[in-house]
Amino acid sequence: MAYIDYYQVLGVDKTASQEDIRKAYKKLARKHHPDLNPDDPEAHRRFQEVNEANEVLGDPEKRKKYDQYGEQWKHADEFEKQKQSYGAQAGGGYADGGAYWSSSGDAGEFSDFFESMFGSRRSGGGGRANYAFRGQDYTAELHLSLMDAAKTHKQLLTVNGKNLRITVPAGVADGQTIKLKGQGGEGTNGGPAGDLYITFVIAEDPRFKRVGDDLYVSVDINLYTAVLGGEQVVETMDGKVKLKVAPGTQYNTKVRLKGKGFPLYKKEDRFGDLIISFRVQIPTELNERQQELFRELAAMNH
| Domain chopping of the chain, boundaries | 72-133, 209-301
* Fold (topology level) of 209-301: HSP40/DNAj peptide-binding domain (2.60.260)
pLDDT in tens, 66-79: 888 777 777 777 77
For residue 30, the tally of other CB atoms under 10 A from its CB is 11
Q: Which of 104, 152, 123, 125 is nearest to 265 (CA)?
A: 152
**3-class state of residue 122 by DSSP:** coil
Strand partners, 177: 199
For residue 121, the tally of other CB atoms under 10 A from its CB is 15
Q: What does the pLDDT read at residue 84? A: 60
Pairing of strands 214-222, 274-281: parallel
> What is the rounded average pLDDT of the residues 285-292?
90
Residue 270 or 188, more confident: 270
Cβ atoms of residues 210 and 274 within 8 Å: no
Residue 119 or 74, more confident: 74
Q: What does the pLDDT read at residue 149? A: 95
Q: What does the pLDDT read at residue 115? A: 41
Give the C-alpha separation, 164 to 261, whole Å: 30
pLDDT in tens, 17-69: 999 999 999 999 889 888 788 788 888 888 888 988 998 999 998 898 888 87
pLDDT in tens, 124-156: 444 444 567 888 888 899 999 999 999 999 999
Give the C-alpha separation, 209 to 237, whole Å: 12
Using a pLDDT cut of 90, give the percent of the chain over it: 48
Q: Which of 206, 199, 216 is nearest to 272 (CA)?
A: 216
DSSP states along 161-226: TEEEEEEE-TT--TT-EEEETT-SSPPBTTPPP--EEEEEEEPPPSS-EEETTEEEEEEEEEHHHH
Cβ atoms of residues 230 and 207 within 8 Å: no
Residue 215 has pLDDT above 90, yes or no: yes
Residue 229 has pLDDT above 80, yes or no: yes
Cα angle 256, 258, 260 (rounded to 5 degrees) comes to 100
Q: Which of 149, 147, 198, 143 is nearest to 172 (CA)?
A: 149
